[in-house]
Amino acid sequence: MNPEEFETALEKKGIKLDERQLEQYQIYYDYLIEVNQVMDLTNIVEKNEVYLKHFFDSLTLAWAYPALQTEPLKLVDVGAGAGFPSLPLKIAFPQLEIVIVDSLQKRINFLNQLIEKLDLTGVQPIHERAEVFGDKNAPTRETFDVATARALKAMPMLVEMTLPLVKRGGVLLAMKGSRAAEEIQDAKVAIPTVGGAVEDQIKVDLPNGDAREIVVIKKVKKTPAKYPRKFSDIKNKTL
């Protein structure tokens, strides 16, 4: 998917980018590749692949959850690494207020420099562990409209580390592949335990034929104070 195909594919979804937004994606790509030569940010470096598997894939959240396109939602992206999916969303939908949480300082440094190059406002990268950011005493607990975390794979871990950050009535958007149903089953205890309920499973197709499923988990009640647990327990003692 080259930049022109990227623009056309988004237009088919009703998303029209202006020249500045298209320029921002180009700046994003150039800086990602530059820094990736000295820092391990992504294994995907070919331009057409970055536009498809990073930029376009990130934006699939916007038609799975259309409020992202128009509402001034407060979104937290946990473990975002090189900024996916939150920064491609921010470029396309500048009204979003984004907080990016990552435990590695050098990734936060990259994100701060990238945000400056993109001239974005309303984006705050924070160096912190997700389970600390969502702790019962943290001021950021249960303050976000939307949470997402493309890097976290196991659904029980994903919900325990992200759903405590979401306020009641908000959602976790879990980006999954063909095993989404199995992963929901794996998290059948974890999801309600931390205050969530599966609201929808939305299949979205990428232009190359790959399928993506986005699981919408609604925050239906407050997360009990003991969650999230310390990381070693989240990882080794699955809910």
Nearest Cα neighbor of 202 from 14, 66, 44, 36 is: 66
Euclidean distance between CA atoms 1 and 56, whole angstroms: 9
Whether omega for the bond prior to residue 139 falls within 30 degrees of 0, making it cis, is no
Q: What are phi and psi of 127, to 5 degrees?
A: -85, 100
Euclidean distance between CA atoms 143 and 124, whole angstroms: 15
Does 129 belong to an annotated binding site? no
Q: Write 228-235 long-range contacts (CB < 8 A, 24+).
A: 228/130, 228/131, 228/134, 228/135, 228/160, 228/161, 228/164, 228/194, 229/131, 229/160, 230/131, 231/129, 231/131, 234/131, 234/157, 234/160, 234/161, 235/157
Does 79 belong to an annotated binding site? yes
Does 197 belong to an annotated binding site? no
Euclidean distance between CA atoms 72 and 47, whole angstroms: 30
Does 229 belong to an annotated binding site? no
Does 67 belong to an annotated binding site? no
| Token duo for residue 66 | 């259309």
- Counting every residue written for the chain, the total comes to 239
Taking the CA of residue 205 as centre, how many other CA atoms within 13 Å lie in the half-sphere pointing to its CB?
Answer: 4
Q: Name the binding residues.
A: 79, 84, 130-131, 150
Q: Name the binding residues for S-adenosyl-L-methionine.
A: 79, 84, 130-131, 150
